[in-house]
Amino acid sequence: MLLMYSLQRSYNYCEIGEKMKRIGSIALASIAIIIMAAMAVSVSSKQEESDMVSLPQPRTDGGISVEKALFERRSIRSFKNESLTLDEVSQLLWAAQGVTDDKGHRTSPSAMASYPLEVYLLAGNVTGLSAGVYHYSPHGHNLTVISLGNKIDELFSSSLRGKKDWRALSPAVIIITGVFERINKVPGQDLSRFVYVETGTAAENLLLEVVSLGLGATYTAGFDENRTRECLGLARGEDPIAVLPVGRKA
Ligand SMILES: Cc1cc2nc3c(=O)[nH]c(=O)nc-3n(C[C@H](O)[C@H](O)[C@H](O)COP(=O)(O)O)c2cc1C
């Protein structure tokens, strides 16, 4: 009887030991999963951080008068083989769509403050910035990498009436796109034209800033839409509207 009892007890202890082992290994596995998940989150947030490029603060004073910039503005299609600086690129992006107050208003007006425009930078030769395709975020005044590598030559590789497209030699190209659903919120009304109007105002801001910085640029609306969409990775509903090559006047 005593033997039976002690056998039963030792069996129970064995069973408890097994259960404890199982619980222990489940706990260990859970801890390992939590640690791995935390590591994955930290790697992906580091990845996001490294995909973001902070831009130098834009200056809001100085430069030349608006009248002088208006008087001097001309479409420039020939650039020196020289880089732009990150300061210059920052100033140009800000001129197009930068945020200028804590309510989120921008350098360009926007119908119903709907802000349907997006701005992209194709960097080919910009000091302090890897060649690549970037999206400009007005709120953070920063860039997010879309893809790395100089895509300017590729985008403008087709010839224009047998001549090489002059835009292929630009150190940087700024592209303005429109997201139409942001403005088409009034039922029964197609307000798409507002997006084109806003592109014009943003582009003119940029062109005047170009003059103020002593650079050259041209507003171009003749471009290969499919290639541009592919280059920027645009989804349906967002269309490229203006392509502005920028460089140092030759
Ligand atoms: C809506 C629009 C589209 C344009 N598209 C092109 C273009 O595709 N290629 C180009 O070289 N210039 C283009 N231009 C620039 C004009 O050719 C230029 O503004 C015009 O010749 C007047 O010269 P200016 O800008 O030096 O005053 C465009 C201008 C505007 C406003």
How does DSSP assign 42-111, residue by residue?
Answer: HHHHHHHHHTEEEPPPPP-S-S--HHHHHHH--B---B-S-PEEHHHHHHHHHHHH-B-STT--BSS--G
Residue nearest to atom 23 of ligand 1 (CA): 75
- Report the complex ipTM: 0.98
Give the per-residue pLDDT at 186: 86
Residue nearest to atom 29 of ligand 1 (CA): 219
- Residues with CB under 6 Å of ligand 1 are 74-75, 77, 218-222
Range scoring the smallest mean pLDDT among 3-7, 90-94, 152-156 = 3-7
Nearest CA to 156 out of 79, 49, 55, 68 is that of: 79
Grade residue 224 by pLDDT with cuts at 50, 70 and 90: very high
Checking if the pLDDT of 16 tops 50, the result is: no
Measured in Å, residue 177 CA sits from the centre of ligand 1 at 18
Burial class of residue 108 (count of CB atoms within 10 Å of its CB; 0-12, 13-18, 19+):
buried
Average pLDDT value over all residues in the chain: 88
Checking if the pLDDT of 42 tops 90, the result is: no
Q: What does the pLDDT average to over 223-235?
A: 97
Checking if the pLDDT of 45 tops 50, the result is: no
Give the per-residue pLDDT at 43: 43
Of 71, 163, 211, 219, which is best to mutate to test ligand 1, by the most ligand atoms within 8 angstroms of its C-beta? Answer: 219
Residue nearest to atom 18 of ligand 1 (CA): 75
Checking if the pLDDT of 22 tops 90, the result is: no
List pLDDT tens digits, range 160-184: 677 899 999 999 999 999 999 999 9
Which is more confidently placed, 210 or 32?
Answer: 210
- Domain regions of the chain by residue span: 2-50, 54-247
Give the per-residue pLDDT at 162: 78
Measured in Å, residue 221 CA sits from the centre of ligand 1 at 8
Grade residue 139 by pLDDT with cuts at 50, 70 and 90: very high
Give the per-residue pLDDT at 161: 74
Q: Which CATH fold topology does 54-247 show? A: NADH Oxidase (3.40.109)
Give the per-residue pLDDT at 159: 73
| CA-75 nearest atom, ligand 1 | 26
Measured in Å, residue 61 CA sits from the centre of ligand 1 at 28
Measured in Å, residue 209 CA sits from the centre of ligand 1 at 17
Residue nearest to atom 25 of ligand 1 (CA): 75
Residue nearest to atom 22 of ligand 1 (CA): 75
Give the per-residue pLDDT at 136: 98
Measured in Å, residue 101 CA sits from the centre of ligand 1 at 32
Angle, helix 192-212 to helix 86-97, in steps of 10 degrees: 140
Residue nearest to atom 5 of ligand 1 (CA): 220
Residue nearest to atom 7 of ligand 1 (CA): 220
Nearest CA to 167 out of 227, 107, 88, 92 is that of: 227
Q: What does the pLDDT average to over 40-53?
A: 60
Residue nearest to atom 3 of ligand 1 (CA): 221
| CA-222 nearest atom, ligand 1 | 8
Which is more confidently placed, 146 or 20?
Answer: 146
Q: Percentage of the chain surpassing pLDDT 90?
A: 76
Q: What does the pLDDT average to over 101-117?
A: 97
